[in-house]
Amino acid sequence: MLENRSSAENGAGTIPQTRSTGALRLLPFMQWLPRVSGATLGADAVAALTGAVIALPQAVAYALIAGLPPQYGLYTAIVPAIVAALFGSSYHNVTGPTAANSIVVLAMVGALVPPSSPDYIPTVLTLTLLVGVFQLACGLLRFGTLVNFISDTVVVGFTAGAAALIAASQLKHVLGVNVPNDLSFAQTVLAVGDKLPYTNFFALLVAAATIGITLLVQRLRPSWPGMFIGVICGSLASAALHGASHGVGMLGSMPSGLPHFSVPTLSFDKIRALTPSAVAIGILALVQGVSVARAVASRSGQRIDGNQEFIGLGLANLIGSLFSSYAASGSFTRSGANYDAGAKTPLAAIFSAIILGAILITMPDVTRFLPMPAMAGAVLIIAWNLVDRRRIAQIMRVSREEAIVLIVTFIATLTLALEFAIYAGVLLSLVLYLRRSARPKMVGVAPVPGRPGNPLRNAIKHKLPECRLVKILRIDGSLFFGSASAVQSELERLTNHGYRYVLIAASGVDSIDFTAAEMVVGEARRFDSLGGGLYFSNLKDSAAHLLRHPDFRDAIGEDHLFASAGAALAEIFRREDATPCEACPIRLML
């Protein structure tokens, strides 16, 4: 499914890409809609049928995860999908319910209102409206870089934790036992363990049949809708076993018709209670949505506008909340299948939503024959597929710090409120980043004999002799409030070792902030008091800007800032009225 298709394989009718400007940014569908042809319509219709077959069991399963009746999953696969297709930038991204969003909605809203309460669904819709407002604001304010503050490691850890929560929530349906909904992960696992002697083996057989058939189809015929076939086979197994008469729960019928317009509850107390959750879900959904769009775009060759994706997803959730939809995002499964099925334009996602709407109108009883164990089996497969085992193994092998972030995020997802799990992972990532940044790489360097230009290299690594009068120190990393103390300590160490002159080769310094500039001024004065000096060479314009400000330049000395290390060294030896000794490597640079 992840193989690239060439332009030739995309076939005639592929929509050319144009850069969105002016009114086209407000109405992005006007970029591709005029270029729709008979060829693209046919390809989109075929892709839409495939997408609808995949979406039907998934949407129902996701609604169950969110603690909602099954029709709300289909509502979310219809309205947000159409809006995002019209106002997003991706030609192949399909927006709708996702497993991660569903478990987060249940956890966050369920902490305020029990899923069995009549107020649960109105609260979910209010949360969705707030999510849409937040996402739309991020897009309009061009905060597309916001998602960069959530590392892939945090997303992988959170998703794995969400998968564990989802799996635990479905065990009672697989075993056919009664377990309360409002339990923590650990409590749920323990409660299921206590109920094992009361397992309904008819329910277990139905779940096992669903899982087994789905996995078999996915292995032998990966292009077929394995989950759809698995759920159908599980339903047939239940009917053959007379499961309903043996205590196997059934999903029940859906109401006929499309979602109707309704305004979510907008009381001040509810908005205040839901805002932190809305921000957390909004960020998570944006990360998912943009990640899916970029993943598919990397295969199709399309350029994605991150801010436009924010706007499209924000409008999708905002408008969706008015039509009984809960928080939606880009679906990896449906988007990948949409591209592989030959979709050419966003009309494929729109057609797929129309097919689902037709099912709601003409066949609302379709879910009446679906056993809960079969749906639970499908959800367990979804949860298993959420765990990115390859990425987890790679992170654990490659980086100790990233492994800590992964583990902390995973544990926090299982033990804390889910919005705090996301924040905990982001905060830990930033703390570790600042910790690394606070200790920039500082090494003594010396010229390499016999190399053109006598480049400066790590003296210890390359076993190069160093000058006894001048220490040439290369710093790689920004000088800012977090790293100022570490640099100051290194300069003090050098003076304690007898160096009165230090030349900082600053080609690796990207920026210098106010705190670091004040530190440089203090150190420059200290070196002057010792009868020496602190010099800089090869400063980038971005780093030199603050040091050349009159408030700092006069204290440091304009004659202490040089374009090259050779010029700085020549000035130092001129002031000392000395020449390097015969063995001194600096002679190469003068």
pLDDT tens for 110-132 read 889 998 899 999 999 999 999 99
> What residues contact residue 46 under an 8 Å CB cut-off, 6+ apart?
341, 342
With residues binned 3-state (H G I as helix, E B as strand, rest as coil), the percentages for the chain, rounded to 5, are 65, 5, 30
Please compute the mean of the pLDDT values over residues 2-30 and round it to a whole number. 52
> Is residue 419 over pLDDT 70?
no
> Is residue 2 over pLDDT 50?
no
> Is residue 33 over pLDDT 90?
no
Q: What integer pLDDT is reported at residue 298 of this predicted model?
A: 67
Q: Widest CA span of the chain, in angstroms? A: 103
Please compute the mean of the pLDDT values over residues 531-540 and round it to a whole number. 91
> Among 81-90, 254-263, 445-454, 577-586, which stretch is predicted with the lowest mean pLDDT?
577-586
Please compute the mean of the pLDDT values over residues 197-221 and round it to a whole number. 94
Contact criterion met (CB below 8 Å) for 449 and 455? no
How far, in Å, are 157, 186, 326, 472 from residue 272 at the CA level? 28, 29, 19, 57
Contact criterion met (CB below 8 Å) for 585 and 449? yes
* Mean pLDDT score of the chain: 86
pLDDT tier for residue 4 given thresholds of 50, 70 and 90: very low
> What residues contact residue 232 under an 8 Å CB cut-off, 6+ apart?
none
Q: Is the pTM of this model over 0.85?
A: no
pLDDT tier for residue 20 given thresholds of 50, 70 and 90: very low
Residue 51 has φ and ψ, to the nearest 5°, of: -65, -40
Q: What integer pLDDT is reported at residue 370 of this predicted model?
A: 85
Evaluate the CA torsion angle 562, 563, 566, 570 in order and state its sign: negative
Rounded distance between C-alpha atoms, residue 530 and residue 542, angstroms? 30
Nearest-10 crossing angle of helices 152-175, 185-195: 30
Contact criterion met (CB below 8 Å) for 212 and 237? no
Contact criterion met (CB below 8 Å) for 51 and 94? yes
Cβ burial of 571 (10 Å; 0-12, 13-18, 19+) is middle
- The tokens of 248 are what? 């196997």
Delineate the domains of the chain, giving CATH numbers in brackets: 37-141+194-374 (no CATH), 441-589 (3.30.750.24)
Rounded distance between C-alpha atoms, residue 211 and residue 171, angstroms? 13
Among residues of the chain, what percentage have pLDDT more than 70? 91
Contact criterion met (CB below 8 Å) for 42 and 348? no
| Sequence-separated contacts (24+) of 215-219 with Cβ below 8 Å | 215/381
Rounded distance between C-alpha atoms, residue 103 and residue 418, angstroms? 9
448-504 pLDDT, tens per residue?
876 666 678 888 888 888 888 889 999 998 899 999 999 999 999 999 999 999 999
How far, in Å, are 64, 88, 93, 112, 311 from residue 304 at the CA level? 32, 9, 10, 37, 13
The residue with greater pLDDT, 71 or 289, is 71
Rounded distance between C-alpha atoms, residue 140 and residue 155, angstroms? 24
Contact criterion met (CB below 8 Å) for 328 and 367? no
How far, in Å, are 197, 265, 267, 309, 326 from residue 322 at the CA level? 45, 11, 16, 20, 10
3-state secondary structure of 228: helix
Residue 295 has φ and ψ, to the nearest 5°, of: -65, -45
pLDDT tier for residue 24 given thresholds of 50, 70 and 90: low
> What residues contact residue 9 under an 8 Å CB cut-off, 6+ apart?
none
| Count of other CB atoms within 10 angstroms of residue 490 | 15
Q: What integer pLDDT is reported at residue 13 of this predicted model?
A: 45
Please compute the mean of the pLDDT values over residues 414-442 and round it to a whole number. 82
Q: What integer pLDDT is reported at residue 420 of this predicted model?
A: 76
Rounded distance between C-alpha atoms, residue 188 and residue 181, angstroms? 8
Considering only CA atoms, which of 377, 378, 383, 407 is closest in space to residue 395?
407
Please measure the distance between the N-terminal and C-terminal CA atoms of the chain and give it in whole angstroms.
61
Q: What integer pLDDT is reported at residue 56 of this predicted model?
A: 85
143-180 pLDDT, tens per residue?
866 666 677 788 788 888 888 988 898 899 999 999 88
Residue 261 — left, alpha, or beta (φ > 0 → left; ψ -120 to 50 → alpha)?
beta
Rounded distance between C-alpha atoms, residue 172 and residue 203, angstroms? 10
Among residues of the chain, what percentage have pLDDT more than 90? 38
> Is residue 544 over pLDDT 80?
yes
The number of angstroms, rounded, from the C-alpha of 355 to the middle of its chain's C-alpha atoms is 30
Contact criterion met (CB below 8 Å) for 214 and 230? yes
The residue with greater pLDDT, 463 or 197, is 197
pLDDT tier for residue 11 given thresholds of 50, 70 and 90: very low
Rounded distance between C-alpha atoms, residue 261 and residue 271, angstroms? 20
> Is residue 288 over pLDDT 90?
no
Considering only CA atoms, which of 517, 506, 529 is closest in space to residue 556?
517
pLDDT tier for residue 385 given thresholds of 50, 70 and 90: confident
230-279 pLDDT, tens per residue?
989 999 999 999 998 999 988 877 888 888 888 888 888 899 999 988 99
Please compute the mean of the pLDDT values over residues 503-529 and round it to a whole number. 92
